[in-house]
């Protein structure tokens, strides 16, 4: 089968979160299974661009409303990622340092989608499926079906994977002229709540829709940032397929970011050595359990609850644990956490920023990973943590519910709590501190987790079956 993935992120080319990890891994496993998987994404100014070689494969001329632009599609030359990688260059619009966060993100990603469809229209053959990811690519199924100039693409099957329905790609109707001329009888497909909504449009127009865990698919029918009724109505075409992890990149025995490697047998010694590195660097006490948080500091991740939960646990449980936070996001959350860390007397350290290498050392060296998410469509952190023998402390929602069993349940290994509130987090932290006092049980849980299989094999097959059904 030939699959064209369209995404705003792909690791290691450009990653802001889990979307990048998934689009960097799934096509690799699809290619290894004998299929042709291609990824097309915007050409940002990233290290990967400068460290690899590319060939120009297509140049086109198209328009975003009244603005006509030249786009160039380049292809990575040496199969560095294990699949075909294509980057779309639109001068001045996509070639920037960051992936998101510009005032003209709507223009950037709509132009990207137009360029992708325009390029696809120039192919001499059709791929078997176009697989689009999140709202930055979700207008593509509509364009392929209903825009006059791309009518010959209408029979190519499309799949939309929703990694996060909180972000939907809203566009006011006065900018509707950005979208290439379409059959106006179909305008309703673009609209949700009086504006153009790329994600809602993708849900309606893609042949099939997937979400990245089963529980998240259920939850979307009552909590989808305004799209609940749509998910209820379209439930017949929606499927939950749990993400996998790239077990070649994320393996404590070979991880290139780690100085101290370990496997299931040597986990205790290996983790301790990595913990020493962290404790030394961040001035923490190696004797205490190390509880880490890695991720975007936003409300969706429950990051706004951390400062109070940490303060409360010092007060109620005592200074019996260390906290380490790696992340960046809303400034009010960052400031609050920095204040608590300054006052915390060496029990709590925070690193504001994005640091891939440090994240790997934390998965390896921490004893626990805390994820108090309000919304977690899948979550990769807990799966990485478990592969590295680190006990996840999670709010049971979305993919966290589907992947973490509480250690109080038969064959369990993690710590689960029900509500994204300070009281529940503090109680879960108390359980973690108690658990840490039982080294034999900790060792047993680490072994259980490290034996779990979160590889892509099963999920990849589910995607292939879904494509085949189209």
Q: List residues binding ligand GLC (CB under 6 A).
A: 17-19, 22, 163-164, 212, 243, 376-380, 399
Selection from ligand ADP, ligand GLC, none that 127 binds (CB < 5 to 8 A by kind) is: none
Q: Smallest distance, Å, CB 325 to ligand ADP?
A: 9
Selection from ligand ADP, ligand GLC, none that 381 binds (CB < 5 to 8 A by kind) is: ligand ADP
Q: Smallest distance, Å, CB 28 to ligand GLC?
A: 15
> Distance (Å, rounded) from C-alpha 385 to C-alpha 381?
6
Selection from ligand ADP, ligand GLC, none that 212 binds (CB < 5 to 8 A by kind) is: ligand GLC
Selection from ligand GLC, ligand ADP, none that 327 binds (CB < 5 to 8 A by kind) is: ligand ADP
Report the candidate in 109, 251, 242 with the shortest Cα–Cα distance to residue 179.
Answer: 109
Q: Smallest distance, Å, CB 383 to ligand GLC?
A: 9
Q: Smallest distance, Å, CB 18 to ligand ADP?
A: 2
Secondary structure string (H, E, C) spanning 403-467: HCCECCCCCCCEEEECCCCHHHHHHHHHHHHHHHCCHHHHHHHHHHHHHCCCECHHHHHHHHHHH
Tokens of 446: 């680490």
Q: Which residues of 247-265 are buried (b: 16+ CB within 10 A; e: fewer)?
A: bebbbbeebeebebbbeee
Residue closest to ligand ADP, measured at CB: 18
Kind of pairing between the strands at 191-192 and 195-197: antiparallel
* Cβ contact 219:398 at 8 Å: yes
Residues 6+ apart with CB under 8 A from 443: 267, 268
CB-nearer residue toward ligand ADP: 176 or 247: 247
Helix (H, G, I), strand (E, B) or coil at 350: strand
Report the candidate in 135, 130, 121 with the shortest Cα–Cα distance to residue 9.
Answer: 135
CB-nearer residue toward ligand ADP: 133 or 204: 133
Say if residue 84 is preceded by a cis peptide, omega within 30 of 0: no
CB-nearer residue toward ligand ADP: 356 or 443: 356
Q: What angle do helix axes 331-342 and 306-316 make, rounded to 10 degrees?
A: 20
Q: Smallest distance, Å, CB 220 to ligand ADP?
A: 15
Tokens of 229: 């009724």
Q: How many CB atoms lie within 10 A of CB 221?
A: 17
Q: Smallest distance, Å, CB 120 to ligand GLC?
A: 24
Q: Smallest distance, Å, CB 174 to ligand ADP?
A: 31
Tokens of 397: 């929602």
CB-nearer residue toward ligand ADP: 17 or 180: 17
For the residues of 307-348, what is the DSSP string, one character each?
A: HHHHHHHHHHT-S--EEEEEEEE-HHHHHHHHHHHHTTTTSE
CB-nearer residue toward ligand GLC: 365 or 379: 379
Q: Smallest distance, Å, CB 266 to ligand ADP?
A: 23
Q: Smallest distance, Å, CB 137 to ligand ADP?
A: 16
* Cβ contact 301:18 at 8 Å: no
Q: Smallest distance, Å, CB 189 to ligand ADP?
A: 28
Helix (H, G, I), strand (E, B) or coil at 68: strand
Where on the chain is the footprint of ligand ADP (CB under 6 A)? 17-19, 21, 294-296, 326-328, 354-356, 359, 378-381
Residue 56 DSSP code: E
> Distance (Å, rounded) from C-alpha 398 to C-alpha 396?
7
Q: Smallest distance, Å, CB 356 to ligand GLC?
A: 16
Selection from ligand ADP, ligand GLC, none that 356 binds (CB < 5 to 8 A by kind) is: ligand ADP
Report the candidate in 150, 162, 148, 82 with the shortest Cα–Cα distance to residue 119.
Answer: 150
Selection from ligand GLC, ligand ADP, none that 295 binds (CB < 5 to 8 A by kind) is: ligand ADP
Tokens of 89: 């260059």
CB-nearer residue toward ligand ADP: 62 or 213: 213
* Cβ contact 369:390 at 8 Å: yes
What's the full length of the chain, in residues? Answer: 470
CB-nearer residue toward ligand ADP: 247 or 328: 328
């Amino acid at each position: 089968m030939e699959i064209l993935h369209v995404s705003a992120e792909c690791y290691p080319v450009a990653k802001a979160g889990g979307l990048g990890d998934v689009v960097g891994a799934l096509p690799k496993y699809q290619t290894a299974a004998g299929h042709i998987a291609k990824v097309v994404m915007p050409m940002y100014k990233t290290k990967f661009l400068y460290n690899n070689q590319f060939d120009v494969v297509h140049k086109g001329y198209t328009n975003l409303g009244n603005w006509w632009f030249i786009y160039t599609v380049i292809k990575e030359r040496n199969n560095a990622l294990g699949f075909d990688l294509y980057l779309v260059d639109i001068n001045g619009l996509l070639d920037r340092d960051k992936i998101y966060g510009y005032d003209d993100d709507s223009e950037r990603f709509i132009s990207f989608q137009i360029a992708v469809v325009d390029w696809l229209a120039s192919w001499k053959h059709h791929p078997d499926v176009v697989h689009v990811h999140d709202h930055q690519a979700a207008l593509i199924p509509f364009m392929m079906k209903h825009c006059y100039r791309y009518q010959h693409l209408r029979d190519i099957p499309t799949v939309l994977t929703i990694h996060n329905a909180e972000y939907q790609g809203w566009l006011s109707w006065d900018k509707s002229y950005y979208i290439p001329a379409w059959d106006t009888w179909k305008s309703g497909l673009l609209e949700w709540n009086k504006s153009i909504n790329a994600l809602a449009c993708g849900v309606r127009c893609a042949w099939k829709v997937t979400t990245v865990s089963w529980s998240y698919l259920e939850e979307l029918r009552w909590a989808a940032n305004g799209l609940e009724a749509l998910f209820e109505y379209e439930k017949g075409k929606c499927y939950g397929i749990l993400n996998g992890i790239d077990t070649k990149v994320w393996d404590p025995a070979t991880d290139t970011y780690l100085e101290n490697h370990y496997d299931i047998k040597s986990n205790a010694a290996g983790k301790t050595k990595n913990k020493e590195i962290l404790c030394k660097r961040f001035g923490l006490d190696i004797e205490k359990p190390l509880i880490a948080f890695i991720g975007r500091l936003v409300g969706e991740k429950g990051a706004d609850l951390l400062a109070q939960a940490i303060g409360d646990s010092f007060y109620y449980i005592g200074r019996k644990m260390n906290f380490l936070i790696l992340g960046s996001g809303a400034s009010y959350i960052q400031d609050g956490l920095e204040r608590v860390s300054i006052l915390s007397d060496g029990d709590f350290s925070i690193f504001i920023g994005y640091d891939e290498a440090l994240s790997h050392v934390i998965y390896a060296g921490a004893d626990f990973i805390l994820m108090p998410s309000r919304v977690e469509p899948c979550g990769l952190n807990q799966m990485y943590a478990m592969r590295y023998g680190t006990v996840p402390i999670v709010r049971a929602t979305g993919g966290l519910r589907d992947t973490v069993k509480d250690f109080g349940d038969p064959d369990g290994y993690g710590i689960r709590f029900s509500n994204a509130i300070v009281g529940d987090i503090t109680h879960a932290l108390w359980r973690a501190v108690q658990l840490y006092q039982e080294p034999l049980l900790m060792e047993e849980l680490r072994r259980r987790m490290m034996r779990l299989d979160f590889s892509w094999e099963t999920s990849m097959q589910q995607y292939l079956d879904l494509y085949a059904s189209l």
